[in-house]
């Protein structure tokens, strides 16, 4: 009993001591998050000034971040915040800055160019944005200039919208055996083959909605061994456009980590489709699509929202074919800014270097999401 | 064919983990009148679920608890058995059913896949308990017509009706 | 607890005696009773007894006087099945089995029709299965003729008459060339059950577009899109326009509106513009400014 009391007293004393130490000599990061001061301390160098700005953005200390900018007279604080988090609801609206990197590009005694690479943690994974900051010396301090991108202005206009929409009424709940219900959309896998990659087997393919109604789709695959026993089952998750309008085609990619293609005897594909209420708008044009060879192989282009409705999140899926027309890879990118009507937004989808040489053509599809309902 | 029938019998006895462990099960080759082929997996699942329905039926009628029917019965079959249980409870009667042999043949698999019909030449014992009175066990041999329909994870009995031999 | 072995022994003894009792049964009743119809059971002997009618479909109990007749009016026993009539007296129990058979008159059809929507011109694309029941929801397993009728949008009728086997009958019908709503009817005597089947157009056929200058861009438009039977492909169907030019490509997926698809594209000089819908490829245009 007395040993227990001694241990309790010891723990209490140690805790008190650590609290005192933490208060008097706080860890820099803790102090920064508590708003005491910047993680990097004073802005005595250009890099430190940009680092401080990164810390303040990460802490969402917008006032401090704005106050430390050299060119703040050119825009308001809300404009600065919106430039970072989006003027309209988008992928960045509900995100936090996970980390950032500071890289000097050029420096002189009174000014410098610094690259600030921001890694945002979004609901669909990491999103990276890069800003090149001009930093100027002001006495013994360095102050960054924020390269503001102001809100794009959509010219006032009236867009006649004659959109199509499908709604679904199912039969009521309860025992409906024999009662008529609406048929699930008919979908068909039009291409599928497995590919061996360093980290496992990947199933690539395309799915067609051959019906006259919209379909919510997904695809699952089961790898079977040579004696037909199941090895693993996986789904396409987000490497697919889940909403398919009539006669629309989506690529899909299904990963099986740590599986060797030599152990696979066959593949059982299970496409799933369900009726879904949907709209045929907005129409997104993909303009100026260009395939860039290795090194840095990629597909670039611009998305243009041809409708009047703002698209909050766009998911770009690229299907890459070889000369024989076989799918050799599927890759995607989420656009982290909203698509305003007629306002081009660039995209860049990376292609694995080893596969880039096999790519001779591509097809791009866009899945869009607008606030107030999926599209 | 005999080998496969025996295999299926063994499978059912093992898979269903019979409470009525003595029941022997014989599955005749399907005699389908419909165009839709019946996959072996579907046949196995349907018969397994049908045999399990006897366990639900037995417990429900012995305990006069219609909720025990829910996993295995649906629609008309469930309603009729529940009505029987209600009548038993009102009269203070309980009945004990114990199946001892099944001779099953699938006769119809509807083209859209929403029903399977089978014939079961079943032998079972029934005993009636009226309050403290225990009536003798009766052995019955009957031909049952069963219609099963698919639910989320199993086949459920929708029609459960003894028919003339 | 001590009474259990006694009950077991009594039960076993009674069970052994039962076949004898059955052979000399004091119960007289029909071997089959039609569901819902009246019937009676004559009880020979004397004294008071309890009469049980026990089956998986129903349970009844009557206090009876031996030497009399127990009447069961119409509607007493209506669930088809195998039943036991158990007469329990003070010192003995007698049991006789009988069957309740479904009423002969059909009253209800369970009609499983599939699909609710299918492309035009599909052989045996529509199937229907029927289970026939009487007024008490008993499956009528005696062979019963079922008439299946499919009326297409043009008014043409396909008719098959099929007799049930073990209470079930099925048929398969073709979808016709014209889009619209079919009426699929199953009928037994005056009882019928109808379903609506949507016949929808097939894939686009002979997809064709044209292009014209519109300011700095070009306006692409398809001809009215139809399937190979001449049915208009429904609005909302996606048509893909692709403009391939030196060093790049532009694509736009647009839905059909009022039967045609329209898109505005940059129109680079020397570009090849193609059109497709699903797996159907249309014509190509080479655009020169």
Q: Which of C158, C177, C200 is the last residue of a domain?
A: C200
> CA-to-CA distance for A345 and A337, rounded, in angstroms?
8
- Segments making up each domain of chain A, as ranges: 21-145, 181-278, 279-374
Q: What is the pLDDT of residues C201-212, one digit of tens each?
A: 999 999 999 999
Cβ under 8 Å to C: A residues 287-316: 287-290, 301, 306
> No. of H helices and E strands in chain A?
6, 20
Pair C97, C112 in one domain: no
Q: Is A175 on the interface with B (CB under 8 A)?
A: yes
Task: Report DSSP state, residue A261.
Answer: G
**Cβ within 8 Å, pair A212-C200:** yes
Residue C261 contacts residue C224 (beta carbons within 8 Å)? no
Considering CB atoms only, which of C237, C249, C257 is closest to A162?
Answer: C257
Q: How far apart are alpha carbons B143 and B145 in whole angstroms?
A: 7
Does the beta carbon of B127 lie under 8 angstroms from any beta carbon of chain C?
Answer: yes
Residue B11 pLDDT class (50, 70, 90 cuts):
very low
- Least Cα separation, residue A311 to chain C (angstroms): 16
Band of residue A174 on the pLDDT scale cut at 50, 70, 90: low
> Of C101, C129, C144, which residue sits at a domain end?
C101
Residues of A (163-222) whose Cβ lies below 8 Å from C: 164, 166, 177-178, 180-183, 190, 208-214
| Torsion over CA: A193, A194, A196, A200 (sign) | positive
- Under 8 Å CB-to-CB from A23, ≥6 apart: which residues? none
The CA-atom distances, in angstroms, between A24 and each of A28, A30, A42 are 12, 12, 19
Residue A296 φ/ψ region, left for φ over 0, alpha for ψ in the -120 to 50 degree band, beta for the rest: left
How many angstroms separate the CA of residue C15 from the nearest CA in chain B? 5
Tokens, residue A56: 């303040």
- pLDDT at residue C71 above 50? yes
How distant is the Cα of B12 from the closest Cα of chain C, in angstroms? 24
* Opening angle at CA A160, ends A159 and A161, nearest 5: 105
Contacts of A248 in chain C (CB under 8 A): 238, 253, 278
pLDDT interval class at A181 (50, 70, 90): confident
C236 and A164 within 8 Å at the Cβ level: the answer is yes
Q: Which of C101, C119, C152 is at the close of a domain?
A: C101
Residue C16 has pLDDT above 60, yes or no: no
d(CA A284, CA A367): 9
Domain extent, residue C95, equals 3-101
Mind telling me how many Å the CA of B161 is from chain C's nearest CA? 5
Tell me if A21-145 shares its fold with A279-374.
Answer: no
Q: Is A83 on the interface with C (CB under 8 A)?
A: no
| Percent of chain A clearing pLDDT 70 (strictly above) | 90
**Tell me: the pLDDT tens digits for C215-265?**
889 999 999 999 999 999 999 999 999 999 987 899 999 999 999 999 999
Question: What CATH number matches the domain at A181-278, 2.60.40.3230, 2.120.10.30, 3.30.450.20, 2.10.69.10?
Answer: 2.60.40.3230
Nearest to B76 among C128, C137, C167 (CB): C137
For domain A21-145, the CATH superfamily is NTF2-like; domain 1 (3.10.450.100)
Q: Do C213 and C258 sit in the same domain of this protein? A: yes
Residue A271 has pLDDT above 90, yes or no: yes
Same domain, C72 and C131: no
- Domain extent, residue B104, equals 2-163
* Contact at CB, B114 and A175, closer than 8 angstroms: no
Domain count for chain C, please give it: 3
Q: Residue C139: is its pLDDT beyond 80? A: yes
**CATH code, domain carrying C270:** 2.60.40
Q: What is the mean pLDDT of residues A102-119?
A: 93
Q: Give the H or E element holding residue C278.
A: none
Into which CATH architecture does domain A279-374 fall?
Sandwich (2.60)
Residue A39 predicted with pLDDT over 60: no
User: Å from B30 to nearest chain C CA?
Assistant: 14
Would you place residue B7 in the very low, low, confident or very high pLDDT band (cuts 50, 70, 90)? very low
- Structurally, chain B folds into a number of domains equal to 1
- Distance between CA atoms of A67 and A79, rounded to whole angstroms? 13
Rounded distance, CA C3 to CA B144, Å? 36
Please indicate, yes or no, whether residues C225 and C262 belong to a single structural domain of this protein: yes
C80: domain CATH number?
2.60.40.10
CATH code of C135's domain? 2.60.40.1930
The residue whose two tokens read 């008309």 is B76
Same-domain status, C83 and C10: yes
Phi-psi region of C137 (alpha: psi -120 to 50; beta: other; left: phi over 0): left
Are C57 and B161 in contact (CB < 8 Å)? yes
Is residue C190 classed as helix, strand or coil in its secondary structure?
coil
Beta-carbon-side half-sphere exposure of residue A100 (alpha carbons within 13 Å): 26
Contact across the interface for C238 and A182, Cβ inside 8 Å: no
A123-132, A252-261, B75-84, C141-150: which range is least confident on average?
A123-132
> C91 with C176, same domain?
no
Tell me which of A35-39, A80-84, A326-330, B55-59 is least confident.
Answer: A35-39
**Whether pLDDT at A375 is above 50:** no
């Amino acid at each position: 009993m007395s040993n227990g009391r001694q241990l309790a007293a010891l723990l209490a004393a140690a805790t008190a001591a650590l609290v005192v130490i933490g208060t008097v000599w706080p860890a820099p990061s803790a102090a920064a998050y508590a708003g005491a001061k910047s993680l990097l301390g004073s802005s005595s160098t250009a890099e430190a000034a940009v680092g401080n700005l990164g810390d303040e953005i990460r802490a969402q200390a917008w006032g401090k971040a704005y106050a430390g900018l050299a060119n703040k007279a050119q825009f308001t604080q809300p404009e600065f915040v919106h430039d970072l988090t989006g003027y309209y609801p988008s992928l960045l609206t509900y995100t936090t800055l996970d980390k950032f990197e500071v890289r000097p590009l050029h420096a002189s005694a009174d000014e410098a160019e610094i690259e600030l690479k921001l890694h945002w943690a979004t609901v669909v994974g990491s999103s990276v944005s890069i800003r090149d900051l001009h930093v100027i010396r002001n006495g013994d301090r360095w102050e960054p200039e924020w390269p503001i991108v102001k809100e794009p202005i959509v010219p006032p206009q009236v867009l006649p919208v004659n959109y199509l929409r499908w709604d679904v009424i199912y039969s009521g709940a309860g025992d409906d055996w024999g009662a008529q219900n609406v048929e699930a959309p008919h979908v068909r896998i039009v291409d599928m083959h497995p590919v061996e990659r360093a980290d496992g087997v990947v199933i690539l393919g395309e799915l067609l909605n051959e019906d006259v109604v919209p379909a919510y789709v997904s695809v699952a695959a089961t790898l079977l061994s040579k004696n037909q026993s199941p090895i693993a089952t996986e789904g396409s998750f987000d490497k697919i456009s889940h909403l398919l309008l009539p006669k629309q085609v989506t690529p899909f990619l299904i990963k099986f980590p740590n599986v060797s293609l030599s152990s696979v005897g066959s593949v059982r594909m299970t496409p799933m489709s369900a009726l879904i209420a949907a709209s045929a708008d907005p129409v997104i044009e993909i303009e100026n699509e260009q395939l860039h060879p290795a090194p840095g192989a990629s597909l670039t282009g611009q998305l243009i929202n041809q409708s009047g409705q703002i698209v909050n999140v766009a998911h770009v899926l690229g299907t890459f074919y070889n000369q024989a027309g076989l799918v050799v890879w599927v890759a995607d990118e989420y656009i982290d800014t909203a698509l305003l009507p007629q306002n081009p937004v660039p995209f860049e989808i990376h292609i694995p270097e080893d596969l880039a040489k096999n790519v001779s053509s591509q097809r791009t599809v866009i899945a869009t999401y607008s606030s107030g309902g999926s599209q | 064919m005999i080998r496969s029938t025996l295999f299926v019998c063994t499978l059912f006895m093992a898979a269903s983990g019979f409470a009525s462990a003595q029941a022997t099960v014989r599955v005749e080759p399907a005699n389908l009148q419909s165009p839709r082929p019946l996959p072996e997996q579907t046949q196995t699942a349907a018969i397994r679920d049908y045999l399990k329905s006897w366990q639900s039926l037995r417990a429900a009628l012995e305990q006069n608890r219609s909720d025990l029917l829910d996993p295995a019965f649906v629609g008309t079959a469930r309603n009729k058995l529940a009505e029987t249980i209600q009548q038993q409870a009102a009269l203070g009667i309980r009945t004990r059913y114990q199946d001892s042999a099944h001779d099953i043949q699938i006769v119809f698999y509807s083209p859209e896949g929403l029903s399977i019909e089978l014939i079961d030449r079943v032998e079972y014992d029934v005993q009636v308990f009226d309050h403290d009175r225990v009536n003798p066990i009766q052995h019955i041999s009957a031909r049952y017509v069963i219609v099963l329909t698919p639910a989320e994870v199993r086949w459920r009995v929708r029609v459960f009706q003894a028919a003339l031999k | 607890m001590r009474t259990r072995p006694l009950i077991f022994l009594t039960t076993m003894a009674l069970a052994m005696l039962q076949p004898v009792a059955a052979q000399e049964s004091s119960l007289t009743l029909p071997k089959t009773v039609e569901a819902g119809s009246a019937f009676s059971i004559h009880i020979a002997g004397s004294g008071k007894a309890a009469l049980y009618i026990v089956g998986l479909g129903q349970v009844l109990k009557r206090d009876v006087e031996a030497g009399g007749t127990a009447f069961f009016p119409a509607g007493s026993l209506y669930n088809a099945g195998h039943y036991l009539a158990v007469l329990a007296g003070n010192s003995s129990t007698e049991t006789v089995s009988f069957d309740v058979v479904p009423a002969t008159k059909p009253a209800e059809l369970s009609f499983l029709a599939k699909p609710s929507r299918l492309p035009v011109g599909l052989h045996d694309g529509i199937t229907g299965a029927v289970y026939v029941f009487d007024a008490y929801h008993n499956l009528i397993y005696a062979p019963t003729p079922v008439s299946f009728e499919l009326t297409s949008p043009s008014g043409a009728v396909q008719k098959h008459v099929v007799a049930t086997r073990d209470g079930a009958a099925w048929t398969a019908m073709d979808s016709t060339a014209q889009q619209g709503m079919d009426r699929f009817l199953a009928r037994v005597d005056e009882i019928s059950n109808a379903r609506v089947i949507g016949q929808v157009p097939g894939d686009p056929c002979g997809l064709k577009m044209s292009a014209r200058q519109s300011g700095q861009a070009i306006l692409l438009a398809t001809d009215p899109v139809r399937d190979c039977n001449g049915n208009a492909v429904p609005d909302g169907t996606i048509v893909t326009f692709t403009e391939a030019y030196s060093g790049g490509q532009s694509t736009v997926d647009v839905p059909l509106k009022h039967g045609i698809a329209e898109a505005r594209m940059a129109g680079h000089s020397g570009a090849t513009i193609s059109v497709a819908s699903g797996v159907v490829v249309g014509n190509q245009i080479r655009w020169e400014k």
